[in-house]
Amino acid sequence: MTSGQGVGIVVVSHSRPLARAALALASEMLHGRQVRIELAAGLDETTFGTDAVQVKKAIESVDGPDGVVVLMDLGSAVLSAELALDLLDDPAARDRVTLSSAPIVEGLVVAAVAASGGANRAEVAAEARNALLGKAAHLSGPDEGAPAEPSVATGPEVTGRFTVANNHGLHARPAARLVSEVGGLDATVTLTNLTTGAGPVPAASLSRVATLGAQQGHEVEVRAGGPQAQEAVEHLLALAARHFDEPTVAAPAEAAATSPRTTGPLAASPGIAIGPLRRLAAPILDVDDSEVSDPAAEWRRVVEAVAEVRRDIEHLRALTVREIGEAEAAIFDAHLTLLADTALLGDVRQQINAGVGAFSAWTVCLRAIEHEWSELPDTYLRERAADVRAVGDQVRRVLAGAAAQQPVAEGILVARDLTPAQAAGLDTAAVRGIVLAAGSTTSHAAILARTRGLPLVVSAGRDVLAVPEGTLLVVDGGAGEVHVGPDAALVADYRHRATAAAERRARDLASASEPAVTRDGTRISVAANLGSVADARSAFAAGADEAGLVRTEFLFLGRATPPDVVEQEADYLAIAEALRGRRATLRTLDVGGDKPLPYLPVPDEENPFLGVRGIRLALDRPALLREQLDAVCRTARRAPTSVMFPMVSTVDELRRAHALLADAAGPDGVPEDLRVGMMVEVPAAALKIESFLPLLDFVSIGTNDLTQYALAAERGNPGVAALSDALDPAVLQLVDHVCQAARGRIDVAVCGEVASDEAAVPLLVGLGVRELSVGPHAVPGVKARVRELDLEQCEVVAKQALRSESAEDVRELVAAAWGPC
């Protein structure tokens, strides 16, 4: 809405729909009077984010003699507004802009009314700042309305301490989470690593927090001053107690993907690739900016470059969410935090004010941070120096005016290392495999390569960089082997292996939509384990018969408040739609001390795996479970749905869960087609399964947890990794006990990692399991494996496996019966 006179208003928000709704509300109060208001909100209709260039254009569009008031929501919106001021070419225009700390909705309403009445810029800004006074007066009670007593934050500093519990310490992701928590508070916060003496460093700076080298077990001191000092310390201590909202154990799938070797070359992503050596076209970043005549112009170049890279990363993050998954996209969050690092930007500006050009200033400051990270004692944290280099080089490229990443010709890509952005942007139709001279199996590039199905070998050494372009390479990503200029016989051997594997994958995929039936006519359902709507689409494409496990945690993690019933129902129905009529089994929220939520705090436990988690926590906080079951019932009335409860140990727990389900269903009752099951993860539940059966329609054996509990071998702990084998006879005996009890009464499924193990499939089928739930990518291969089997033979070998002494003996039995896997 525009007119030619009066104060202009700009609304900077992460969300475009939110900004539009606020504008609509403000417009209702103007009764036809015109005010110049422009929105700079979101990256597009659905992607959250802010853009300094967009804010600059908005300011210019409403600017006039009376000036502009800018309202912002939080976090990077403030930074984008500040950067936008620096981007304005006219110093006089900058002087006409006021950045307001007012609340965005109430502030916009009163600012618009004041501006429409002819108030000047200072008056409009003041009205916006006072927007909450009316509400505060109306709602004031015993604890409100009167001026607050001065807190300790305004006098002595507030301090606290925490011990880092995260596996890899305060690496990029938890550090970024910490920085974002501090950014919204009016307090000056510093951190000191009391274990090493490093620090103090500003908690608002990702680049400085990472240099603390805070590893697992280190004690960190938090020190804060300012109006919200007490709140800041409490927030950070609570965040640390939640392990910065990051699981404290490695995911088993990721751990399995790494090579047992610790020196290169290392296997990082399985598969065979043959082709000519190709390289990324490295732009020449040679800029002579030794003579600087206009520091302000140089600083604007930095601001514009940072804004451009931020847009690129935010769009790449959104693309990665859609095509790969939220977990992989989270890689880019630390990059975005680094771009908003006020300490880094302040250092760059100091360099520029001292006469250094934009390109050189940025390079010097980034190289200093990269060096600090590379000197950290923890290997994982040292490897994160690549994140600094990745972001820094993107900005350097823009400052140098170099072209963006060029497509790679068909073949094997060889490079020193890859940034996450480079890995996510590769054309998998051209790139057959990747060899990195540096890198690690835990790098973000390696994670993305595995997810995209690209064979990858890392730590191949500097010599590989000297191999001429076009040289024939053979890469075995599963074995960690790179053959340079191989002879014809070796090429033929690997080509045969690759062809056979590709043909098998093609055959498996071509028949994936067909039922998995053994040679003697027994049908086995092959379902998919899901963690998102994107997974559901992948499962349908892969031919999954249903969704055997939907991990509903994806809805609850990474947020400050739980999703309501309407939001849950919408997401569950989106999964159902993606599955196109196939049944979805929704596991109720499975969190606890090992997977904490900010709104569902759990006291510190010596061993969270044996503590209040799964159904135990849900029954302890029944309101949350009841809301989820309400959403499940609503979904079941519109789509084929099952529900199952995790970590059940006693019949009483299952009865209480049933009672909550009946209550949540309301007067219409539990939907007739809603099937109710439980996870068998606790050995005690497996041993007394008979007691549970009258209350169940099915059970799903979670072999990941069942194995760790039965063998006392923690998942993800490399020290006991050799013990943690689901084909141990003890685990198989528990599975057998459940199947024998359930035979002819209810269905038995397995949804752990072992369900996709080629050696395990015939044994599980032989024991009586009739549903195997696996990752979407594994569905075609598991179906093909089932079709090779004869049920009678499976039963005979399974009985022999139950009498074996070890998992190794069991695998030898399988190899003798069906050949090596």
Q: What is the CATH number of the domain that holds 759?
A: 3.20.20.60
DSSP state of 267: E
Residue bearing tokens 């003496």: 197
Q: Do 423 and 533 fall within a single domain?
A: no
| The one catalytic residue among 171, 218, 243, 444 | 444
pTM of the model as a whole: 0.54
Q: What one-letter code names the amino acid at 655?
A: R
Residue 145 lies in a domain: no
Residue 275 lies in a domain: yes
Q: Do 261 and 228 fall within a single domain?
A: no
Q: Do 603 and 744 fall within a single domain?
A: yes
Which of 354, 376, 400 is the last residue in one of the domains? 400
Residue 290 lies in a domain: no
Q: Do 753 and 624 fall within a single domain?
A: yes
- Report the pLDDT value the prediction gives residue 328, as an integer from 0 to 100: 57
CA atoms within 13 A on the CB side of 637: 12
Q: Do 523 and 587 fall within a single domain?
A: yes
Q: Do 766 and 666 fall within a single domain?
A: yes
Give the pLDDT means over successive 10-residue stretches in the chain (821 positions): 72 86 81 83 71 84 91 78 79 87 85 81 84 59 39 61 77 66 74 85 72 80 85 81 60 36 65 88 63 81 84 70 58 72 80 84 82 65 64 81 66 82 74 84 66 81 86 88 91 89 85 91 93 85 93 76 88 92 93 63 64 82 91 95 94 94 92 94 94 95 88 63 79 95 93 85 95 89 93 94 91 87 62
Q: Do 465 and 539 fall within a single domain?
A: no
Q: Do 664 and 783 fall within a single domain?
A: yes
∠ CA 419-420-426, rounded to 5°: 90
Between CA 244 and CA 215 the distance in angstroms is 14
Q: Do 711 and 590 fall within a single domain?
A: yes
Residue 551 lies in a domain: yes
DSSP state of 718: G
Q: Distance between alpha carbon 116 and the CA centroid of its chain, in Å?
A: 45
Q: What one-letter code names the amino acid at 9?
A: I
Residue 143 lies in a domain: no
Q: Which of 808, 736, 734, 723 is nearest to 766 (CA)?
A: 736
Q: Do 550 and 638 fall within a single domain?
A: yes
Q: Do 640 and 733 fall within a single domain?
A: yes
All residues at 6 or more sequence positions from 156 whose CB lies less than 8 Å from its CB, including other chains = none
- Report the pLDDT value the prediction gives residue 718, as an integer from 0 to 100: 46
Residues paired with 679 in a beta bridge: 700
All residues at 6 or more sequence positions from 664 whose CB lies less than 8 Å from its CB, including other chains = 626, 627, 629, 630, 632, 633
Residue 146 lies in a domain: no
Burial 616-652 (b: 16+ CB within 10 A, else e): bbbbebbebbbbbbbbbbbbbeebbbbbbbbbbbbee
All residues at 6 or more sequence positions from 259 whose CB lies less than 8 Å from its CB, including other chains = 266, 267, 268, 441, 480
Q: Do 197 and 259 fall within a single domain?
A: no
- Report the pLDDT value the prediction gives residue 579, as an integer from 0 to 100: 93
CA atoms within 13 A on the CB side of 638: 13
Largest CA distance in the chain: 89
Between CA 371 and CA 280 the distance in angstroms is 24
Cβ pair 601, 594 in contact under 8 A: no
Residue 573 lies in a domain: yes
Which of 138, 168, 202 is the last residue in one of the domains? 138
Residue 21 lies in a domain: yes
Q: What strands, in cross-sheet order, belong to the sheet with 8-13?
A: 37-41, 8-13, 68-72, 97-100
Q: What is the CATH number of the domain that holds 118?
A: 3.40.50.510
Look up 444 and say whether it is catalytic. yes
Q: What is the CATH number of the domain that holds 274?
A: 3.50.30.10
* Residue 500 domain boundaries: 253-280+406-506
| The one catalytic residue among 365, 739, 751, 794 | 751
∠ CA 45-49-52, rounded to 5°: 110
Which of 459, 484, 506 is the last residue in one of the domains? 506
Cβ pair 754, 726 in contact under 8 A: yes
The tally of domains found in the chain comes to: 5
Rg (C-alpha) for the chain, rounded Å, is 29
Residue bearing tokens 């507004």: 81
Look up 794 and say whether it is catalytic. no
- Report the pLDDT value the prediction gives residue 249, as an integer from 0 to 100: 39
Cβ pair 623, 585 in contact under 8 A: no
Alpha helices in 71-215, H assignment, sequence order: 76-87, 91-95, 104-116, 121-129, 133-139, 172-183, 206-210
